[in-house]
Every structure is written in C-alpha cells, then in structure tokens.
Structure 1
C-alpha cells in the first residue's frame, strides 16, 4: 500500500485531518498503516512517473467532521468499518479503491473460473442444498501489540482509547456450518486442525448438522482446500 493511488478515501481524509492537528508525516503513516512516502505524495498532490489522473478528492471539511464523529463512537474500528459508516452517512466515496486480492497463479484462476462458469445458472433451489462450512479464529484478548486505535494528541490515556491486554493473548478456533435451511452447532477446536481432528469434526458435527437440516434429502457439502480438508484420508 505504498502508492498514493492505493490510499482509499477514508485514509486520505484521515491524513488531512491528522495533518491539520499538527501530526508529522511519520506519525500519520504509522497511524493509518501506510508508507510515509504515500502520505507525502497525497499531501503534495503529486504522483510518480505520470500526470495526475482520476477523480478529484471527494472529501470536504463537513465530510471529515462526520468521519471524526464516527471514529469517536468506537476508537477500535477497522478501515472497512469506517468506510461503510462514512458512506452510509451520505459521503460519496468511490468504489474504485484498493481491493484486497488473493494471489493466484494461472492454474488456480482457471479452476475458479471453471467452477464459477459451471455454477452461474444454478437456481435458488440448487444453492439451498449446499451446506457451507469453515473454521475461523476469534481473539478474546489482546497482547502487547494491542489493537489499532484512532485518537488525537492528548487522548492517549482516555478510557475510550484504552483496551486491557494480557501477556499471552487468548483466542479460540471455531468450526461451523450453515445453509439456506439453517445453521448447525458450533465446534470449539482445541489445538491445530489436522486431517484426524477435521475428520472427527465431520463425524460428530457436520453429519449431525446435515441430518438436522436436510433429513434424508441429498445435499452438497462445501469446504475449502485447506490441507486438513483435502487430505486423502479425509476424502475416503
């Protein structure tokens, strides 16, 4: 995220606001998580190697004030959350911003395209037969690194800008499944997910979920190609 064109509207507005508050370019770059050169190029209005192009900056002083109020409601929001609320408040931010994309090789892209082409004409009834599943990790506490907080100079010790931390952060891994027919029970996983533990999840949680949601009807089970999911022993 080093170039000016990579900065989304929310970041640009925050840069302008922090600059007005007297923050240095280094402090601003650390606050929003981009390079110092990106901050410098935005503030100077310059771009590297080409004439400036694209839409003019869509933020106004009023829009910046609105953003500041949104930030003050919850100092620990992500940029994505800020952008969503800012847009909902009536600020016309552009969708032509940076998109986080998975790095794929040509073979992987072709597989995804083939899969999408095969499913493009599926009906609602067909999709309703799919049981989607995945695991996800949820953090219950923060360590020494803590969480990113949006604050102004002098607000370092404000209660709204502080979160408790522990030496050894706690997290929990959860497996779940859902479909148009409803959701299955959650499985709280201890340790890492390998082929053996994943097969136990399928036996004790996925199959009961499928029976509850579909009974004797046919269904399509979906999972990604994580090593534990695609292991030969899992596919048997």
Structure 2
C-alpha cells in the first residue's frame, strides 16, 4: 500500500499542541481526523524534540524520473550539433528513445539538467575573412594597452534615430470603448523621418551631441568641418588625448588623415571595419534608444530635444560601460562638464578668424583636379596654426560649388 498525503504545517501544529497538553494518540486522531499511525509517528517526534518545535515534514522525492543519463547524453550531443533544434524536433528525431516523453519534459531536462537556455539568437554584423583577420591583428596590437591609456581615448560615432509618432505616456481606455479611436492610437507611417547625430564621450564624461541637418549625407568635407568646429571642445570636456573613429569612408578619407597630421591629433589609425562591438559608445546609443520609450518623439524637433536631454543627463556609470576593466571614479564629471568654461575663440588650432575667409577663397580658386590638400596648403604659405580653418572653409566652398552645379569647380 502506498503512502498517503503529506501532513500540512497546520496538522503538525495541531498534533504538537495537543501532545503538550497531555492528550493521548486516540483522542488526537479522533479530533484531527488523521490516521492513528500518523499521529503516533508525529507524537513521538514531538516528545523527542522536547520544548523546541518539531521538525517539518521532509519533502518526498516524488515519482522516479524517466530520463536516464544515457538519454541526457543523447540530448546534449544533438543540441551541440544543432543549436537551433526545438524540443518537438528532438522528440520526432528520436522516436524510440523519447516516445514516452512529452515536449515539456524534454524542455525541462534541457534547461534544468543540461543548462541549455532557449532564446532568440543575438544579432551581430556579418564579418568577412579579411575583417576577422584585421580584428585579430587589432586585438593583438592593443591588448598591451593599460586601462589608464584607454581612459585617454575619446570615442566618437554617428547614430540614426527614427521618429516613432509616440506622443509620450500611455492612455486610459474605458471598458467597452473603441481602442482604435484616434484619441487612443499612435499614428505610424511607412517611411518615417529620421535624424542622424554625432557624439563623443570619454572616461571622464560626455562631449557634444550634434544633430546633423535633415537629408544630409556625411561626406569627407562635412565631416572635416564638424571635427574642426567641435573636436577641441570634446577633448577638453572629456579630458582625453587620443581620438577614435570607425572605418567609414568619410572618416578614413585622405583629407581627414591629412588634417589630423597638420593639427597634431593622435588617433587610432587601424580601427577594424564592421566592429561596433569594440566601441563603448555603441552601448550609449542602445541606452538612449531605450530611454526614448514613452517620450514625445512625434516630430523631428521633439526627437532632437529628447535626445539632447538624455545625453545631458547621462551619469558617468552609464557612459563608462567599457570592454576592459577600469576603476570606478566619482560622479563629479557631470558637474565639471556642466560648469566648464567655453573655449571657443581661444585656441587658434581649432577656431578660425575672419581674415582667413579671403585665404580660403583664394585656395578654392587655385585648386585643380586632382585636389592635393597638403600641396595647396604649402603653396598658400598659411601658418600651421591656421591651416585647419582654411581647410574647413575650403570644404564649405566646395560644397557650395556642388550646389551651383559647376563641374569645372568640383574636386575629385
């Protein structure tokens, strides 16, 4: 005969209390309605425990498991060979071994015994063989860098944010009302507007977040103008010395590389392509997209305003999600960023003056294809401290040439 149901905590407490007042087993069995043998067993436990509480009911082992070690090994071997296989497919591929098991049982064995987590695959860029080799060489080269040197790197990147039509918050819908009424819905379009932003951050805080104009393609001229206007402020705000950028064509153009050499900016030259996982600023873009949920992003101005608010309120722990170990520092970086003095117009390396407009116009008139920036700068005999501004204004002049559609004044 099998064992009966386990006694509850209340039934055990009832037996214990009546045992302490001196009632015999027959009386306790009649009062509680429990079997006499169960009462005798728990009465003995109560007397052995004395004044202390009796031990609780031990949990039973339950029904014997159907899955053996051989079955688990077969499951593990097949899942290792086919990580995307489902529990139902496992059962269909092994009819003789798993015909007596339900799909739910197979799922429990995979999760509890074999520690397989069933989740959606992570999304990552597709890497070609050459890109993998470059990543490996990059990691070998920079693995010798100490964390203190990585803290001097200023990370930069562009990101695109889409107008979602979300006006912020949620709605309260009365029971029985139409949930598709315009007051309770959020409008969507097939091709929503978007805005591209450029940002930079370092170990000690964030730099500037710039929203680029609508329908603007970042080419080498516009990117060079952006760096000439804002890179120095970002270096000062983040207290960094080394600049990082990805391998986009506008970033690796000869113009940009020549400008870095002229102004003396130290930057990482061999950043591997298609490797966003190596840059900590990608974590910030993902964080900002999560924080945009529930905010008013129905128009481009509203979206830009919300992005500026989120960027300004990034706390230092969020902006220091680095791929290497680093020590924690104080939260005073945000206060330093908010109270830092403006340096625009003080550094001749990054900010132009009005007399240079004439030099830039002269340089734009004298250029001829193929356009060689170092040669033309040397021909102009401009001081090295001002050549960055000449380059920036020349880029603006070339962009205006493209607008005016003058093929003879376009650079190749």
TM-score by length of 2: 0.31
**1:2-57 deviation per Cα after TM superposition (whole angstroms, max 9, x unaligned):** xx954xxxxxxxxxxxxxxxxxxxxxxxxxxxxxxxxxx85x8126x9769xx943
Does the CA contact (< 8 Å) of 1:139 and 1:172 recur in 2? yes
Distance 1:194 1:126 in 2: 30
Distance 1:219 1:51 in 2: 61
What's the counterpart of residue 109 of structure 1?
Answer: 132
What's the counterpart of residue 94 of structure 1?
Answer: 117
Q: 1:203 to 1:119 in 2, by over 3 A?
A: same
Which 4+ residue blocks in structure 1 deviate beyond 4 angstroms? 49-52
SS at match of 2:246: coil
Does the CA contact (< 8 Å) of 1:131 and 1:220 recur in 2? yes
Does the CA contact (< 8 Å) of 1:187 and 1:205 recur in 2? no
CA-atom RMSD in angstroms: 3.9
In the TM superposition, residue 156 of structure 1 has moved relative to its aligned partner by 7.3
What's the counterpart of residue 221 of structure 2?
Answer: 196
Distance 2:217 2:235 in 1: 24
In the TM superposition, residue 208 of structure 1 has moved relative to its aligned partner by 1.7
Runs of at least 5 residues in structure 1 that lack an aligned partner in the other structure: 7-40, 60-91, 143-154
Does the CA contact (< 8 Å) of 1:133 and 1:178 recur in 2? yes
Does the CA contact (< 8 Å) of 2:201 and 2:238 recur in 1? no
Distance 1:140 1:201 in 2: 24
Q: Which has the higher contact order (CA 8 A, sep 6+)?
A: 1
What's the counterpart of residue 160 of structure 2?
Answer: 137
Does the CA contact (< 8 Å) of 1:137 and 1:173 recur in 2? yes
**1:98-154 deviation per Cα after TM superposition (whole angstroms, max 9, x unaligned):** 232322222211110111122224222111001000000111235xxxxxxxxxxxx
Match of 1:57 among 107, 114, 122: 107
Distance 1:51 1:193 in 2: 56
Distance 2:181 2:83 in 1: 34
What's the counterpart of residue 248 of structure 2?
Answer: 226
SS at match of 1:185: strand
Does the CA contact (< 8 Å) of 2:197 and 2:209 recur in 1? yes
Bigger CA radius of gyration: 2
SS at match of 2:107: coil
Does the CA contact (< 8 Å) of 1:141 and 1:169 recur in 2? yes
